[in-house]
Structures are given as C-alpha cells and as structure tokens.
C-alpha cells in the first residue's frame, strides 16, 4: 500500500470537519490557493526549473 493511500483517511478526517465548519466553498478556495502557491514556489527551485538540463548521462544513453 502506498503512502498516498494511507494518507487518504487522515485527509478525510481533517477535510470533513473543516468543510462543515467553514463551508465547502471556502475549503475549495483554500485548497486551490495552496496548489497555486505550491506551483509558484516550485518555479523558484532551480532543480525543478532546470529538470531537463539536469538529466543523468546514463538516462540520455539509454534513450539514444
């Protein structure tokens, strides 16, 4: 079983009460904002920005 599958019940335990308390719309807006901020933050990480240039030589030889 993967970590993702194990985290789903925990996330539902958090999401259910929070969406009851704040409302589903607020919860979706919050989740969307977190996704956008994560994407913007990833654009400032050089390893992610240059992922195509940082390939290992073995991978390039295997593709040729």
| pLDDT reported for residue 32 | 95
Domain spans in the chain, listed from the N-terminal domain onward: 3-63
Q: Helix-strand-coil percent breakdown of the chain, rounded to 5?
A: 80, 0, 20
Give the tens place of pLDDT for each residue, 26-64.
999 999 999 999 999 999 998 888 888 867 666 555 665
Question: What is the model's pLDDT at position 46?
Answer: 87
How big is the CA angle at 45 (ends 29 and 55), to the nearest 5 degrees? Answer: 120
| Rounded alpha-carbon distances, angstroms, from residue 25 to 14, 33, 34, 38 | 16, 12, 14, 20
CA distance 41 to 20: 30
């Amino acid at each position: 079983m993967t970590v993702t599958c194990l985290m789903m019940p925990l996330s539902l335990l958090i999401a259910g009460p929070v969406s009851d308390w704040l409302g589903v719309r607020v919860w979706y807006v919050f989740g969307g904002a977190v996704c956008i901020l994560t994407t913007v933050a990833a654009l400032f990480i050089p390893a992610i920005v240059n992922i195509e240039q940082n390939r290992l030589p073995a991978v390039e030889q295997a593709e040729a």
